[in-house]
Amino acid sequence: MERWEYIERYVLLCLVAVLLSTSAWFFFTREGIGLLLAIVPLPFAFWAFWQAFYEDRVTQRAPPTSGERFAASAWLWFRRITVGGVGAVLAYAAFAFAQRAVSAGEVATIAALALLSAVAFWVALFGGGRQRSMSDDLSVHVKRKARYKWWL
């Protein structure tokens, strides 16, 4: 690993520690809404943990560990549900705007919402690539699918 990769890993692990501490603080010191606030940092902590340990393993030849396979599958389905939900909300908003009488300014809004919805659905299904904007998303997803033996 290069020097910046070690630094990145330590920064991400510090972020995990801060997020988990924040979650625990909300859980133990707040009532009512505190439980909801305790849950909010957890996906971000999971993402930082995933980035620190498993993100770069897609090209390794060694078989994945059971922990890596679990983390990859959990991240896949969390991403699909949350980003797919955002895509559905954006698609609904575009549809709702399209149902009204359309003026010239609203056509741009409808097009922007539809485009953002399509991008959200793409990211929900295939995730982000590693090098280029959207051009390597599908190829990286195929590599992950083969590595973790996903069927979707």
Q: What is the pLDDT of residue 132?
A: 66
Radius of gyration for the alpha carbons in the chain, expressed in angstroms and rounded? 19
Using alpha carbons, list the distances in angstroms from residue 113 to 83, 103, 123.
14, 15, 15
Tens place of pLDDT per residue across the chain (152 aa): 788 888 999 999 999 999 999 999 988 887 777 788 888 899 999 989 988 888 878 778 889 989 899 989 998 999 999 999 999 999 999 999 898 867 777 888 899 999 999 999 999 999 877 666 677 888 888 888 998 989 87
3-state secondary structure 37-80: HHHCHHHHHHHHHHHHHCHHHHHCCCCCCHHHHHHHHHHHHHHH
Between CA 72 and CA 2 the distance in angstroms is 24
Q: Name residues whose C-beta falls within 8 Å of residue 102's C-beta, 6 or more positions apart in sequence.
A: 110
